[in-house]
Amino acid sequence: MARGDSAVRLLKVIMYLEHNPKGLTVKELHSRLVNDLIECSERTVYRILDIVERAHFPVYSEAQENDLSNEKRWKFRRTTALS
């Protein structure tokens, strides 16, 4: 792994979540990283999401009611300056 790859993956995941208010599944996040020529596994995406949560970004996951696969969608909570 080249120097800085971890930071690039972390920032890309944050960017993807920021620009997708409906959220993304781990598979979708992984696919986007691979499409951007960033090598990683789905397990790495879970690790990145854990880091994002521990860094106190307002990220959470929820299962969609009409999604038969029961995959969780990760998204940012929309917050205001006063919350």
DSSP string across 6-74? HHHHHHHHHHHHHT-TT-B-HHHHHHHHHHTT----HHHHHHHHHHHHHTT--EEEEE-TT-TT--EEE
Q: Is 1 helix (H, G, I), strand (E, B) or coil?
A: coil
| pTM for the full predicted model | 0.83
Domain 5-76: CATH class, spelled out? mainly alpha
Q: What are phi and psi of 18, to 5 degrees?
A: -65, -35
pLDDT tens per residue, the chain (83 residues)?
677 889 999 999 999 999 999 999 999 999 999 999 999 999 999 999 999 999 999 998 987 666 555 689 999 887 655 55
Domain extent listing, the chain: 5-76
